[in-house]
């Protein structure tokens, strides 16, 4: 029976490829080409790093293998966290589950099909991201093509073991607490755990490990390199197998690979039989809807609408989005991670080894680009999917007495306030920590405010240009070509923005260094004109194209 489900997925994939025509085919090819360029850039960076480590006398080979074990351990941990979040959606909330349960298929095979789907979605991006590292490692150590085939063989049970932890956790939790609220609690706990580990890891200052003066005894350092990294984790089993293969110890390679494969097979066999007892109970409980208690008191939006009748449609849309935000734990879990990101960001700014006031002010100016990137990444998670998350209910908006422009304006205002707030926090606190001078502080604060507006407008505009109202998982929106183009345009906009202001900033520092007549008013006027044109383009073009595309969108 499992072969029928796998054949169904393969047929769907083939039909999707065959259906690519015209502009859709071009967009996918461009997206794939840019992805390959990014992987090539990663390979170049990893190759330089590993070449440097391998060239260190005496401990070079140990350094590269130690780094490999740490990379695999980090990948294993990230796949576990990703599988915990994704398994809730694939195992209990996939759109095709009700259809599959109506077919004469065994319950356990349906579960196994969704389990494999969970492993794939939670691991494919991470496996692809570390592939350039493995290729660079094989090249630096002069290993043949067989090394890469051995690695691919080891990665199958490796990612299956990582995904099994999340699947097993979701099964147990949904069986013990069969409710749709369980998914929300799981997302919140997972986000809190990730944020805590992220903050603790950064606050431990791992960069001090690279300082030679911090090593009290060299022998202790060598012993650390030779010791296993999490010896009871599958990441160390993969590392041992790769080390054995590179040294030609085939018996040790077979032993490590055998332990890895046997562990994966035993764990999935256990989960397979366990699913027959617990899966249906969890699925049934997941279909229940939580009860929300109403209130007879007038809502704030109702009171405002009675005073300002012209804003009634806007306030109604705002009320709807406010309720969605309050009821969806996915948003709150991401807010926890954003808080951790801001804390780590400001801590990293504080730890920068800067000595002179001018250097601190220069870093404060360049910090506009970094803070803008953070805002764009947050916008990719919140602003860009705002239109697509209407889902199948988008037809209600199309049939209601509101214009498409008013819908986009409402979503813009909902996203704009937190975007501006985050940008101002990052810049103002960073300027305070770096003791930036008044000119740089005012310029960077004004620039980040303008950039926050432009990036938010671009997020809504690109979300309307590339809407997907049938998406199951919000991560599919983030990894789509629309999301990629949004990030690419946001990065291009930020680069041009910093470049335009670099000329006046250069005049400012020239004046601080004592140069006479450092300011050129014609150059300042030119930069101001380019600044206005750049921001007008970033605000107008995506918005108008997205509005026009959404107005012509057929439900």
Parse the chain into domains and list their residue ranges: 59-286, 352-551
CB 264 within 8 A of CB 160: yes
User: Which of 29-33, 167-171, 178-182, 439-443 is modeled with the greatest confidence?
Assistant: 439-443
**217/219 Cα distance (integer angstroms):** 5
**163/167 Cα distance (integer angstroms):** 6
**553/395 Cα distance (integer angstroms):** 10
pTM for the whole structure: 0.64
pLDDT band at 540 (very low <50, low <70, confident <90, very high): very high
Q: What SS3 state is found at 57?
A: coil
CB 140 within 8 A of CB 46: no
Q: What is the mean pLDDT of residues 20-42?
A: 78
Note the pLDDT tens digit of each residue in 516-525: 777 888 999 9
Note the pLDDT tens digit of each residue in 325-355: 766 655 665 666 677 667 777 777 777 777 7
Q: What SS3 state is found at 450?
A: helix
CB 365 within 8 A of CB 448: no
pLDDT of residue 224: 46
Dihedral in degrees, nearest 10, Cα atoms 169, 175, 180, 181: -70
Size of the chain, expressed as the number of residues it contains: 555
pLDDT at 297 over 70: no
For 427-444, b/e burial (b = at least 16 CB within 10 A) is beebbebbebbebbbebb
pLDDT band at 158 (very low <50, low <70, confident <90, very high): very high
What is the widest separation between alpha-carbon atoms in the chain? 86
**Cβ atoms < 10 Å from Cβ of 9:** 13
Q: Which whole-number Å values give the CA distances from 201 to 96, 166, 205, 208, 378, in the listed order?
A: 40, 22, 7, 12, 21
pLDDT of residue 500: 92
Q: Which whole-number Å values give the CA distances from 388 to 31, 258, 267, 334, 382, in the listed order?
A: 20, 45, 37, 18, 11
Note the pLDDT tens digit of each residue in 84-132: 778 877 888 787 888 888 888 888 888 888 888 888 888 888 888 889 9
Note the pLDDT tens digit of each residue in 224-273: 445 555 567 788 888 889 889 888 888 989 998 999 999 999 999 999 88
Name the token pair of 86: 């994704």
- Compute the mean pLDDT over every residue in the chain, rounded to the nearest whole number: 79
3-state helix, strand, coil in the chain (%, to 5): 85, 0, 15
pLDDT of residue 555: 58
């Amino acid at each position: 029976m499992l072969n029928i489900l796998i054949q169904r997925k393969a047929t769907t994939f083939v039909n999707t490829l065959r259906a690519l025509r015209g502009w859709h085919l071009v967009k996918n090819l461009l997206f794939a080409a840019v992805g390959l360029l990014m992987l090539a850039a990663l390979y170049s960076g990893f190759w330089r790093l590993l070449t440097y480590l391998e060239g260190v006398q005496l401990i070079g080979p140990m350094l590269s293998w130690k780094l490999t074990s740490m990379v695999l351990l980090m990948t294993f941990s990230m796949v576990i966290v990703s599988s915990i979040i994704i398994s809730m959606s694939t195992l209990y909330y996939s759109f095709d589950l009700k259809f599959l349960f109506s077919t004469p298929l065994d319950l356990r095979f349906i579960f196994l099909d969704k389990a494999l789907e969970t492993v794939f979605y939670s691991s494919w991006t991470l496996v692809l991201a570390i592939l350039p590292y493995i290729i660079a490692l094989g090249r630096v150590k002069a290993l043949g093509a067989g090394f890469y085939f051995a690695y691919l063989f080891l990665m199958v049970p490796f990612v299956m073991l990582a995904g099994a932890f999340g699947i097993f956790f979701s099964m147990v939790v949904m069986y013990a607490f069969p409710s749709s609220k369980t998914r929300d609690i799981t997302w919140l706990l997972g986000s809190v755990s990730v944020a805590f580990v992220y903050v603790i890891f950064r606050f431990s200052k791992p960069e001090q490990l690279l300082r030679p003066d911090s090593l009290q005894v060299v022998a202790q350092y060598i012993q650390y390199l030779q010791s296993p990294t999490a010896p009871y984790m599958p990441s160390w089993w993969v590392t041992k197998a790769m080390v054995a293969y590179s040294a030609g110890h085939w018996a040790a390679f077979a032993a490590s690979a055998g332990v890895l494969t046997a562990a994966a097979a035993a764990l999935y066999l256990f989960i397979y039989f366990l699913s027959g007892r617990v899966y249906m109970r969890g699925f049934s409980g997941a279909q229940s809807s939580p009860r929300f208690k109403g209130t007879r008191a007038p809502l704030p939006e109702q009171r405002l609408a009675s005073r300002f009748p012209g804003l009634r449609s806007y306030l109604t849309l705002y009320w709807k989005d406010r309720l969605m935000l309050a009821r969806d734990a996915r948003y709150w879990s991401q807010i926890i991670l954003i808080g951790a990101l801001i804390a780590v960001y400001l801590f990293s700014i504080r730890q920068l080894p800067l000595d002179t006031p001018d250097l601190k002010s220069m870093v404060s100016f360049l910090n506009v680009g970094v803070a803008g990137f953070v805002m764009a990444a947050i916008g990719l998670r919140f602003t860009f999917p705002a239109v697509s998350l209407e889902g199948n209910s988008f037809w209600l908006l199309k049939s209601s007495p509101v214009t498409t422009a008013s819908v986009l304006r409402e979503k813009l205002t909902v996203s704009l306030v937190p975007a501006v707030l985050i940008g101002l926090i990052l810049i103002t606190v960073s300027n305070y920590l770096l003791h930036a001078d008044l000119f740089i502080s005012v310029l960077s604060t004004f620039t980040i405010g303008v950039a926050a507006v432009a990036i938010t407008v671009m997020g809504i505009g690109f979300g309307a240009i590339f809407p997907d109202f049938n998406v199951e998982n919000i991560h599919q929106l983030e990894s789509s070509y629309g999301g990629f183009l949004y990030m690419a345009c946001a990065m291009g906009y930020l680069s041009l923005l910093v470049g335009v202001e670099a000329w006046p900033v250069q005049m400012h520092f020239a004046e601080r260094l004592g140069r006479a007549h450092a300011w050129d008013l014609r150059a300042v006027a030119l930069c101001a004109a380019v600044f206005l044109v750049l921001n007008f383009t970033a605000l107008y073009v995506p918005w108008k194209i997205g509005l026009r595309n959404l107005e012509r969108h057929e439900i």
